[in-house]
Amino acid sequence: DECDGLHGEETPQTDPIENLTSIQVLVEPVGRWFEAYIRRRNRNLSASFQELEEEESSSEEEDDEEFQLQEHPMLRTLDPKDWKNQDHYAVLGLPHLRYKATQRQIKAAHKAIVLKHHPDKRKAAGEQIFTFCTIEILSDPVKRRAFDSVDPTFDNAVPSKSEGKENFFEVFSPVFERNARWSSKKLVPYLGTAESSFEEVDSFYSFWYNFDSWREFSYLDEEEKEKAECRDERRWIEKQNRASRAQRKKEEMNRIRTLVDSAYGCDPRIKKFKEEEKARKESEKKAKVEAKKKEQEEKERARQAELETARLAKQKEEEEARQAAQLAKKEKEVQKKAIKKERQKLRTTCKNWNYFADNEAESVKMMEEVEKLCDRLELTSLQSLNEILTSGSKEESKAAVEKQVQEVNALLQKEKEAEVQARQAARNAEHASGGGGGGKGWNEDDLQLLIKAVNLFPAGTNARWEVIANYMNLHSTSGLKRTAKDVINKAKNLQKLDPLQKDEINKKAFEKFKKEHTSVPPSIDNALPSERFDASSGEGNANPWTTEEQKLLEQALKTYPVSTPERWEKIAAAVPGRTKKDCMKRYKVSRVHAAGSCDCSTASVCRCPRRWGWTLQKTGLHWHQNPHTTT
């Protein structure tokens, strides 16, 4: 009031300096702004939040005031029982808002219809139109989402590639915008424009290729589980509904995928990006090729430089070596000329002195000694000797020459003795080692046994040298065990011998063989040799088998068992004068006699158990005369 009084009354004009007085006014805060301030302080909220809250409430109030209901023209003819096939937004008068309508708007629309078409107001006319369950569906978020998923006004069409090639953005932009309502995520990227960057386009297609849709099709269930009479029927209905929902969901996702694929195939930006990527890769590839080519050229230049450096170094070394060789050659030529000169001087001087001899024989001998001095003495020795011969008398010269001859002869004798000793040492070492065979001595018997084994087991025999070593260990009388390595070394050593040495060894072997066989008295008459009755004159040897041949056959049967390849050829080779057929027939006849199945009356001489004592062993057939038999 005081303030109003001050402002309402007229005051005389006075000097401002005189009116400077302190005035205190008591003000009580009131109004809606103060109320808002108190609310914010009590609730610990900021002014921006309060303003946003007020703006939202005011916008909702404005929307409630601005939206208008569009009454369904066929509202009076709708059947409440056919509620599932009706457009609930149209029934409430919200066909223009549909899924964008808020709960406040839905409630307001329902309130308006209730006030207008309530049954109490239509009793007089006998109308019963207010029996719909629209408000129950649209007020329940779950049921409303189910109805929105099958909105009859939604366009599920997908443009083809041919439609989108001409006007891509005009054709596909509205399609993606209306399908964005099914996204579970609120921030849905737009299709963009022709100037959109690669990141924006890539983000757009990544979102739609991984599209998460909340759209479901429970509203289209053909059976209602609430109508089931029992639990089994309810389960069956739920199973059928789940299957149909899954099928429709799959079709919906295929539709979205087809939409995205069509847009991706028609998008001119994708084509442009691919061309840019191709050009970039070509550029990178070309740059790599150029870099590789440049690197190879650098390597080639470096290699050529290294080769040139090596060539120059080698050329320098060769030049130095050539110069050194020329210098050495010159020095050698000089030395050679000097030696030749000194030798000629020595020959001339000795010739002038008549080689210090009184007769021709001594002169010839001294001439040979002088030539020996020319060949053996070095340049310095020749020069010293020539100086003595030039400056001294004949006796001094002769003494100097004879002294030099003695020294040269002594040196030659030492060299000859050293050579002889070396040869003797080598010969001793060879004899000590037996000429091979791992340091084990080889006597004449072992050498002959080795030669025989090598002939018995030719090249190609399996494990030939092991077989030969076993054969020698079995038949040798020296008691030494030979290995395959010893046998190989000795065989190689025998091959390296001179023909004279081989002849000497063979001669010794023959003499030994002759001595052994001549020392035994002949027993052919006492042995009663068997006779051959089955051999023709044109096959093999028709002579009777002697005791010696029988022993050789028995030994060969021992040496070559049944598993030996080409057994009978080797047995025949071990029995001189007998063929393979002779040995085989002799063996068969011996087995028949050993079995006692022959007829003694068929031959004048027979060796069956009644006349002879036979021993049939695993390694061969052995027999001896039975002294107790009378026949």
At 617, which CATH number?
1.10.10.60
- Same domain, yes or no: 510 and 559: no
CA 587 to CA 552: how far, in whole Å?
A: 12
Among 215, 234, 266, which residue terminates a domain? 266
Reading the block at residue 585, the tokens are 């027939």
DSSP state of 543: S
What does the pLDDT read at residue 119? 63
Compare 614 and 552 and report the one with higher pLDDT: 552
569 domain residue, yes or no: yes
29-78 pLDDT, tens digit per residue, is 888 788 888 877 777 655 444 454 554 555 555 454 456 666 666 666 66
Q: pLDDT grade, residue 621 (50/70/90)? A: very low
The domain that holds 494 is classified in CATH as 1.10.10
User: Hey, what amino acid is at 106?
Assistant: I
185-198 mean pLDDT: 89
310-334 mean pLDDT: 91
- Same domain, yes or no: 169 and 261: yes
What does the pLDDT read at residue 273? 92
**pTM attached to this predicted model:** 0.40
47 domain residue, yes or no: yes
- Same domain, yes or no: 379 and 422: yes
Most confident of 285-294, 429-438, 444-453: 285-294
What does the pLDDT read at residue 253? 92
233-249 pLDDT, tens digit per residue, is 888 888 888 898 899 89
The domain that holds 122 is classified in CATH as 1.10.287
Query: Which helix (H) or strand (E) covers residue 614, if one does?
Result: strand 612-616
Among 429, 453, 486, which residue terminates a domain? 429
- Same domain, yes or no: 141 and 51: no
What does the pLDDT read at residue 340? 85
Reading the block at residue 214, the tokens are 């909340």
What does the pLDDT read at residue 1? 38
Average model confidence (pLDDT) for the chain? 76
- Same domain, yes or no: 580 and 599: yes
CA 197 to CA 203: how far, in whole Å?
A: 10
356-406 pLDDT, tens digit per residue, is 888 888 878 888 888 888 888 888 888 888 888 888 787 888 888 888 888
CA 39 to CA 47: how far, in whole Å?
A: 10
Reading the block at residue 616, the tokens are 């049939």
Q: Does 6 have pLDDT greater than 50?
A: no
- Same domain, yes or no: 55 and 110: no
CA 243 to CA 119: how far, in whole Å?
A: 41
> Could you give the number of structural domains in the chain?
6
Compare 95 and 614 and report the one with higher pLDDT: 95
310 domain residue, yes or no: no
Q: Does 618 have pLDDT greater than 60?
A: no
**Closest C-alpha among 410, 414, 387 to residue 400:** 387
What does the pLDDT read at residue 21? 59
Q: Does 505 have pLDDT greater than 80?
A: no
17 domain residue, yes or no: no
CA 159 to CA 521: how far, in whole Å?
A: 127
What does the pLDDT read at residue 132? 54
Q: Are 398 and 357 in contact (CB under 8 A)?
A: no
- Same domain, yes or no: 166 and 261: yes
What does the pLDDT read at residue 250? 92
Q: Are 619 and 558 in contact (CB under 8 A)?
A: yes
What does the pLDDT read at residue 617? 38
CA 186 to CA 182: how far, in whole Å?
A: 10
- Same domain, yes or no: 176 and 238: yes
- Same domain, yes or no: 43 and 71: no
Its domain, for residue 219, covers 161-266
Among 120, 149, 178, which residue terminates a domain? 149
275 domain residue, yes or no: no
- Same domain, yes or no: 87 and 36: no
Angle between helices 499-519 and 444-456 (to 10 degrees): 100
335 domain residue, yes or no: no
CA 514 to CA 210: how far, in whole Å?
A: 110
Q: Does 610 have pLDDT greater than 90?
A: no
- Same domain, yes or no: 173 and 237: yes
- Same domain, yes or no: 41 and 84: no
Q: Does 2 have pLDDT greater than 50?
A: no
Q: Does 612 have pLDDT greater than 90?
A: no
What does the pLDDT read at residue 391? 82
User: Hey, what amino acid is at 590?
Assistant: S
460-485 pLDDT, tens digit per residue, is 888 899 999 999 888 888 778 889 89
138 domain residue, yes or no: yes
DSSP state of 210: T
Q: Are 91 and 78 in contact (CB under 8 A)?
A: yes
Find how far residue 569's CA is from the centre of its chain: 54
Most confident of 138-142, 181-185, 278-282: 278-282
630 domain residue, yes or no: no
521-534 pLDDT, tens digit per residue, is 444 444 444 444 44
Share of the chain above pLDDT 70, in %: 71
